[in-house]
């Protein structure tokens, strides 16, 4: 076999390419170049075939954008909430985990936790006491923690936090991932591969999209009746929750944007200003704004967050009000696996809060955005990282501490931390 033959084989053999891969990459590079130069019009124009090349740079808009960003950052950091964040990120987090405490005597920072255990969802009260809601397979909080949406098989139920069932509906296929809208008026859920919405009282169940990606949908924090989800083609879509899919199955989408490949989680937070897209190899922030005249959200700039070489993103979450992203990443190295909890702040380098052996798991912001709960399944611990008030707290033997029966089961999954008061 000659070099030529091998060259031809490698050059000509058909290889699979995800649809729109080149276009997705083009948009990503355009966004990155725009960010680098703060000069989007030229690049965007260059990406359109009708625009000619060779326009010069325009320093004034960049200066204006830079000043705007600086002003925004100053406002963020000088506001009371921003000051807390500033204190937090300026204080050095411990680089190693705190000494584990033997039991969860109370929820650090207050609030109630909803946790999925092998026996069913459990509510952990601020004083650390627990209540099993039943043998449901998944659950999530209503916006003020007055109810819990729970699923089992083809059933979706609304429960009171003591487990009392208020209503229940049966879907055509297995139900998963219920998410209550911030207004409390609707619940989005997946049934089989479809995305559906039902009113908060169990009425008006309707189809939004007959086939979506296996990603939990996210409601708009702007208070608009909008739901973000990832469709079967991997696009990030915004649907009106007040409309149904058409008879042909066309979803009531109002806007769409390119999403990263293999997105497995979206999180609409930071006061509504960003949707976080989490993939094993990447983190992207899709900027959002509220068009107040039309009462709907619009896509803005999309940026990627830097991931350390060799790292795999396990989980990430946007802070409820601040433009902060917390992520757990894992490194598989020859000498062993280790993980880091990392925080991303606007305009600054990512900061490693914690480094531990083994794998970290889910990350969950407290309702006030001042604490982080990071799961550490390898050590069977939960790590509560607080805002610049000394060391965080670690709770040992968490699978046993959370299990309603007191017998250790599988490591519990965080289903929500409620509620801001």
Partner 1 sequence: METESGGNERRLVREAQAGSGAAMARLYSLHWRSAYRAAYLVVHDAAAAEDVAQDAFLAAVAALDRFDRRRPFGPWLHRIVVNRALDWARREALRRRVDGADSVFEPLPPPEEIGGEMIAALKELPAEQRAVVVLRYLLEYTPGEIAEMLELPRGTVNSRLRRGLDRLRAAAETERLAGDRR
Site residues, partner 1 (CB under 8 A): 1, 3, 5-18, 21-22, 24-26, 28-30, 32-34, 36-37, 39-40, 42-47, 51-57, 260-262, 279, 281-282, 304, 309-310, 312, 332, 337
Cβ neighbours, 10 Å, residue 257: 19
By beta-carbon proximity to partner 1, the closer residue of 148 and 278 is 278
By beta-carbon proximity to partner 1, the closer residue of 16 and 102 is 16
By beta-carbon proximity to partner 1, the closer residue of 26 and 348 is 26
By beta-carbon proximity to partner 1, the closer residue of 7 and 246 is 7
What is the closest distance, in whole angstroms, from the C-beta atom of residue 217 to partner 1 in the complex? 21
What is the closest distance, in whole angstroms, from the C-beta atom of residue 66 to partner 1 in the complex? 15
What is the closest distance, in whole angstroms, from the C-beta atom of residue 254 to partner 1 in the complex? 27
What is the closest distance, in whole angstroms, from the C-beta atom of residue 328 to partner 1 in the complex? 15
What is the closest distance, in whole angstroms, from the C-beta atom of residue 263 to partner 1 in the complex? 10
By beta-carbon proximity to partner 1, the closer residue of 55 and 289 is 55
By beta-carbon proximity to partner 1, the closer residue of 25 and 223 is 25
User: What are the phi and psi torsion angles at 27 (to 5°)?
Assistant: -70, -35
What is the closest distance, in whole angstroms, from the C-beta atom of residue 279 to partner 1 in the complex? 7
What is the closest distance, in whole angstroms, from the C-beta atom of residue 146 to partner 1 in the complex? 39
By beta-carbon proximity to partner 1, the closer residue of 15 and 293 is 15
């Amino acid at each position: 076999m000659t070099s030529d033959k091998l060259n031809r084989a490698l050059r000509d053999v058909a290889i699979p390419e995800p649809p729109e891969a080149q276009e997705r990459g083009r948009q990503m590079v355009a966004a990155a170049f725009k960010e680098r130069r703060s000069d989007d019009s030229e690049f965007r124009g260059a990406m359109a075939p009708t625009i000619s090349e060779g326009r010069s740079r325009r320093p004034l808009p960049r200066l204006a954008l830079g000043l705007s960003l600086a002003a925004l950052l100053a406002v963020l950091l000088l506001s009371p909430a921003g000051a807390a964040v500033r204190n937090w990120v300026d204080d050095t987090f411990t680089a190693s985990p705190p000494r584990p405490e033997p039991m969860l005597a109370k929820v650090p920072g207050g609030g109630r936790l909803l946790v999925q255990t092998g026996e069913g969802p459990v509510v952990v009260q601020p004083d650390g006491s627990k209540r099993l809601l039943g043998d449901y397979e998944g659950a999530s909080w209503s916006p003020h923690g007055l109810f819990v949406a729970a699923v089992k098989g083809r059933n979706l139920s609304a429960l009171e936090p003591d487990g009392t069932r208020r209503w229940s509906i049966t879907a055509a296929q297995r139900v998963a991932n219920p998410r209550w809208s911030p207004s409390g008026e609707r619940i989005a859920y997946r049934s089989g591969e479809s995305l559906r919405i039902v009113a908060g009282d169990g009425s008006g169940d309707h189809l939004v999209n007959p086939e979506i990606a296996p990603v939990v949908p996210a409601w708009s924090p702007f208070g608009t009746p909008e739901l973000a989800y990832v469709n079967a083609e991997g696009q990030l879509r915004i649907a009106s929750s007040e409309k149904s899919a058409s008879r042909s199955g066309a979803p009531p989408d109002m806007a769409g944007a390119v999403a990263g490949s293999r997105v497995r989680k979206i999180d609409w937070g930071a006061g509504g200003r960003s949707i976080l897209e989490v993939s094993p190899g990447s983190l992207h922030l899709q900027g959002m704004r509220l068009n107040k005249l039309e009462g709907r959200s619009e896509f803005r700039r999309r940026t990627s967050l830097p991931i350390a070489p060799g790292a795999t993103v396990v989980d990430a979450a946007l802070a409820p009000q601040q433009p902060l992203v917390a992520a757990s990443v894992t490194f598989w190295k020859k000498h062993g696996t280790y993980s880091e909890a990392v925080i991303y702040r606007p305009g600054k380098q990512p900061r490693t809060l914690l480094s531990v052996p083994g794998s970290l798991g889910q990350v969950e912001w407290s309702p006030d955005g001042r604490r982080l709960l990071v799961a550490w399944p390898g050590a069977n611990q939960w790590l509560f990282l607080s805002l610049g008030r000394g060391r965080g707290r670690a709770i040992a033997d968490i699978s046993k501490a959370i299990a309603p029966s007191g017998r250790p089961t599988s490591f519990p999954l965080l289903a929500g931390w409620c509620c801001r008061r």
